[in-house]
C-alpha cells in the first residue's frame, strides 16, 4: 500500500480521489483492514496500478504505463523546480545550510506539495508571487518575528 500511496502522490490525494478517509487508507497501509472489491478498484484507478496487482501482488504493477510516466515526469518537474528555488534562496542567505539540511527542506517541501496537490506549474506561480511580494515589501529593521 505504501507504493500505491506514493503513486497517488500522498494519502490526502488518494483519499480525495477515492472518496475514502485518510484514516481508512492508513488502516489499509498498516495492514489493520482489507479494502472491499469496490474500494480496491477505486484505489487502483486513483494510483494507476492494476487491480490484479493490488489484490494479489502478481502481474504487471502499472495499469497504464503512459499515465504513470506522466505522473513521474510531473514529479521530476516539481522536484527540479523546488530544488532550484531552495538552492537559490539558500545562496542568498547569510548563513547557508548544509547539504543534509537542504535535502531535508526539499524532501519536506515535495512531500507537502504532494499532500496538497501542488504541481510544478502551481509551484512556479506561487514562487513568482512570493518573490514579487518580497521584492517590493518594505523591510522593517529592528522588528522581531
Residue span(s) of the chain under CATH 1.10.260.40 come to 2-56
Q: What percent of the chain is predicted at pLDDT more than 90? A: 3
Are 68 and 61 contacting, i.e. CB atoms less than 8 angstroms apart? no
What does the alpha-carbon distance between residue 92 and residue 86 come to, in Å, rounded to a whole number?
Answer: 10
pTM of the entire predicted model: 0.44
Average pLDDT over residues 63-89: 68
Q: Model confidence over 31-73: pLDDT tens digits?
A: 899 988 888 888 888 888 788 888 888 877 777 554 544 555 5
Which fold is adopted by the domain 2-56?
A: 434 Repressor (Amino-terminal Domain) (1.10.260)
Q: Which of 62-76, 98-112, 121-135 has the highest mean pLDDT?
A: 98-112
Task: Look at residues 54, 77, 41 and name the one whose alpha carbon lies nearest to residue 2.
Answer: 54
Which CA distances in Å does 79 have to 2, 6, 13, 121, 122?
Answer: 20, 14, 18, 12, 13
Amino acid at each position: 500500500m505504501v507504493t500505491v500511496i506514493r503513486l497517488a502522490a500522498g494519502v490526502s490525494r488518494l483519499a480525495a480521489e477515492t472518496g475514502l478517509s485518510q484514516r481508512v487508507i492508513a488502516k489499509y497501509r498498516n495492514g489493520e483492514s482489507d479494502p472491499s472489491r469496490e474500494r480496491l478498484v477505486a484505489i487502483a484507478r486513483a494510483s494507476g496500478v492494476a487491480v490484479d496487482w493490488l489484490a494479489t501482488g502478481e502481474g504487471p504493477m502499472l495499469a497504464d504505463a503512459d499515465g504513470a510516466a506522466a505522473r513521474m515526469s510531473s514529479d521530476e518537474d516539481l522536484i527540479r523546480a523546488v530544488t532550484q528555488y531552495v538552492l537559490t534562496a539558500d545562496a542568498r542567505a547569510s548563513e547557508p545550510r548544509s547539504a543534509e539540511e537542504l535535502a531535508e527542506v526539499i524532501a519536506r517541501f515535495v512531500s507537502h506539495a504532494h499532500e496538497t496537490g501542488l504541481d510544478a506549474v502551481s509551484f512556479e506561480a506561487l514562487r513568482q508571487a512570493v518573490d514579487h511580494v518580497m521584492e517590493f515589501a518594505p523591510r522593517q529593521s529592528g522588528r522581531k518575528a
